[in-house]
Amino acid sequence: MNTAPTGPKQIRALIGNIPDPEELYGRDDFIEHLWKVIEGNNVLLLAPRRFGKSGILRHVLKRSHAGFLPLSFELEDVDSSEEFVWRITRELLVHDGVRRLLSNARKLPASLMGWVKDTFDEAEFEGAKVRFKEQIREDWREAAKRMLAELEKADETLLFLFDEMPRMIERISEKRGDESAREFLDWFRTVRLEQKDVLRRHRFIVAGSVGVDLVLHRLGAVAAFTDFARLPVEPLDNAPAGQLAEDLAASFGITWTPELSARLFALIGSPVPYFIHIFFSQLGQLPKASRAALTLDNLDQVYATRVLGPTCRRYFGHYGSRLTRYGKMGEKSAYAILQAVASRNQVSRPALYEIYRKTRGRNADEHEFDELLADLEYDWYLRLDPGTNEFFFRLKVIQDWWKRWYPTSAAAAKSARTKQP
Ligand SMILES: Nc1ncnc2c1ncn2[C@@H]1O[C@H](COP(=O)(O)OP(=O)(O)O)[C@@H](O)[C@H]1O
Ligand SMILES: [Mg+2]
């Protein structure tokens, strides 16, 4: 199996859009392994945003193995259990075979049966959403559970792909309260456990960017996903990353060399495909003559002035904006911590606690500090070096970006001085 195209390449510049299966580089082994794990387990795909989770899910969806019926759900904007059940029902009813099964089901609650029997076109369906959610409000737990139980009679194993489900759980707790989020998790767990004795059990792949364990910890529901195999999605290996760089270079008319690849990966820190794509989107804008004779110095310059500059700022926006999740004071502490690590490269835990304590004042709390650091670690801003017990930035490009856009006041003053002789 080779997911990357071979021969003359047609390659799309992708900055944030979900890659199609033929656009994926370096995930063959991972996907092969994923399918093995799926035979016997549910799967939790974990990685920071933009590492390539959704691309992998799309591959599973579009190149599904025989015997599975994959159903894909983007859950990032879902903030209630009713909305979740609506999305599932709508998707299930689109599949004729599934619909037939459901329409013959004896145990389906009346609140759902009407929806199965009647046919809607797409537009009517959207309009019907409010009505559906009202009807299902009281008994969504039972209705959805019975619907899923009915579907175990299907010829194929249903494979539910739940992209960004941890974010959905977080949103439910923000919008409807922790109790609603816990209720959902409980429900999801019983759905999985109650199908134990059945031959063809559904499978679930849950993908998430936010620290799922922290969300669960806050809700007191640490056991919610214990029956899931955890698969972390890592940066690419050097060979496929080099191939991606070579193919992108060819598509932009850039004369490329292994030395340029090495420098590009060194600038980023490790080959995360998103940043390779961003880098080339900028290289591609150089004048034709520069593209034909690109030097290492050109690369450094494009990195400093464009990749880290205002042109690309919005591609990184997420890294700053997601800190608002910590609340006003937590956000301030997170900034201070990230600034310290960005400017000093490695900072010990006690030193970071001091920084946290100063921004937090009398409200400083060791437990809150631990949670904050763990969250920054989960999102791969930071990593702990167990040898020295010091924190450092997981990706050089994000560290450089922090330094550029959120300088410490000392660094800002110094750069102002050097700019105005
Ligand atoms: N295997 C890959 N090969 C090439 N580009 C990739 C790959 N995985 C991710 N990308 C790039 O990263 C971006 C984000 O990928 P996506 O799968 O949406 O990540 P996530 O779901 O983890 O946020 C894509 O737009 C594309 O630029
Ligand atoms: Mg995604």
> For ligand 1, is residue 51 a contact (CB within 6 Å)?
yes
For the ranges 49-53, 279-283, 406-410, the lowest mean pLDDT is seen at 406-410
Residue 316 has pLDDT above 90, yes or no: no
* Angle between helix 366-378 and 327-344 (nearest 10): 60
* Strand-pair partners of 232: 46
CB-based contact 185:169 (threshold 8 Å): yes
Q: Look up residue 279 and give its two tokens.
A: 């880098």
> For ligand 1, is residue 274 a contact (CB within 6 Å)?
yes
pLDDT confidence band for 250 (50 / 70 / 90): very high
Query: From the CA of 46, which ligand is nearest?
Result: 1
Nearest atom in ligand 1 to 278's CA: 27
* Angle between helix 349-360 and 327-344 (nearest 10): 140
Q: Look up residue 314 and give its two tokens.
A: 């919005």
pLDDT at 121: 62
* Residue 260: other Cβ atoms inside 10 A: 20
SS3 label, residue 90: helix
Domain parsing of the chain, residue ranges: 27-232, 238-316, 326-419
Ligand 2 centroid from CA 54, angstroms: 4
Tens-digit pLDDT profile for residues 143-188: 898 888 888 888 889 999 999 999 999 999 999 999 999 999 999 9
Share of the chain above pLDDT 90, in %: 56
Cα–Cα nearest to 312, from 285, 348, 342, 272: 285
In terms of DSSP H, where are the helices of 10-155?
A: 28-40, 53-62, 81-94, 96-103, 110-117, 122-127, 129-136, 140-150
For the ranges 112-126, 180-194, 247-261, 378-392, the lowest mean pLDDT is seen at 112-126
* Residue 354: other Cβ atoms inside 10 A: 13
Confidence (pTM)? 0.89
pLDDT at 412: 60
Residue nearest to atom 11 of ligand 1 (CA): 274
Which of 60, 277, 379 to probe ligand 1 with, by most ligand atoms within 8 A of CB? Answer: 277
The CATH classification of domain 326-419, taken from the options 1.10.260.40, 1.10.10.10, 1.25.40.10, 3.40.50.2300: 1.10.10.10
CB-based contact 385:346 (threshold 8 Å): yes
- Domain spanning 27-232, CATH architecture: 3-Layer(aba) Sandwich (3.40)
Ligand 1 centroid from CA 381, angstroms: 18
Tens-digit pLDDT profile for residues 5-29: 444 346 787 888 899 999 999 999 9
Could you list the beta-strand ranges (E) of 150-234: 157-163, 203-208, 228-232
Residue 415 has pLDDT above 80, yes or no: no
pLDDT confidence band for 77 (50 / 70 / 90): very high
> For ligand 1, is residue 104 a contact (CB within 6 Å)?
no
Label residues 186-222 b or e (16+ Cβ within 10 Å = b): ebbbebbeebeeeeeebbbbbbbbbbbbbbbeebebe
CB-based contact 180:345 (threshold 8 Å): no
Higher pLDDT, 329 or 144: 144
* Residue 387: other Cβ atoms inside 10 A: 6
What's phi and psi for 394, nearest 5 deg? -65, -40
- Average pLDDT taken over every residue of the chain: 88
From CA 354, how far away is CA 344, in angstroms rounded?
15
Ligand 2 centroid from CA 214, angstroms: 19
